[in-house]
Amino acid sequence: MSKPAAQVAPPAPKSNNLALWILIALLVIGMAGAGAFWFLQGRNGDAHAVEKPEAAATQPARYYALEPAFVVNLADTSSVRYLQADVQVMTRDEATGAALELHTPAIRNRLLLLFGQQTAAQLAQRSAKERLQEQALAEVRGVLKSERAPAKVEAVFFTSLVTQ
């Protein structure tokens, strides 16, 4: 004989651990994201740390002419060739500007040595002139760093470049 339907006990409810594990995983991911955000914003969470680079970009550019114009013998062996260059250095940092003025003799020396290594054939190409600008920028920064001076120089510009 079968038991009446009223006497059959319903199955015991299963504990649903899957929902608990999903909740824990979401909490861990959220905490990891918050930690990464805190770390990337500056370890103290200070909003001013994020604003500093933007503030530097809003400063006006300052140009410092390295006068008089550079005149050097080029490294050509077949004939005597010359380079005349007017150079200006750009920074947005006042302390770097003061350091540029203070260390102008050392900067001019390094640039004269750099310019004297070039040949007229190299300087006929635009890419070579751009590479020379990058090298000149590295030389200027190198002098300032060796003097433990601020070296926030953004660019070196040739306002005149003549080979003959």
Answer whether 142's CB lies under 8 Å from 133's CB: no
pLDDT digit string, tens, across residues 10-65: 665 556 677 777 878 887 888 887 777 777 876 554 545 444 555 555 789 999 99
Is-above-0.75 flag for pTM?
A: no
pLDDT digit string, tens, across residues 77-129: 999 999 999 999 999 999 999 999 999 999 999 999 999 999 999 899 999 99
Task: Determine if the peptide bond prior to 60 is cis (ω within 30°).
Answer: no
**Distance of alpha carbon 85 from alpha carbon 71, whole angstroms:** 7
CATH superfamily of 59-163: Band 7 domain (3.30.479.30)
Per-domain residue ranges of the chain: 17-55, 59-163
Answer whether 83's CB lies under 8 Å from 118's CB: yes
**Distance of alpha carbon 80 from alpha carbon 105, whole angstroms:** 26
Instruction: Annotate 100-117 with three-state secondary structure.
Output: HHHCHHHHHHHHHHHHCC
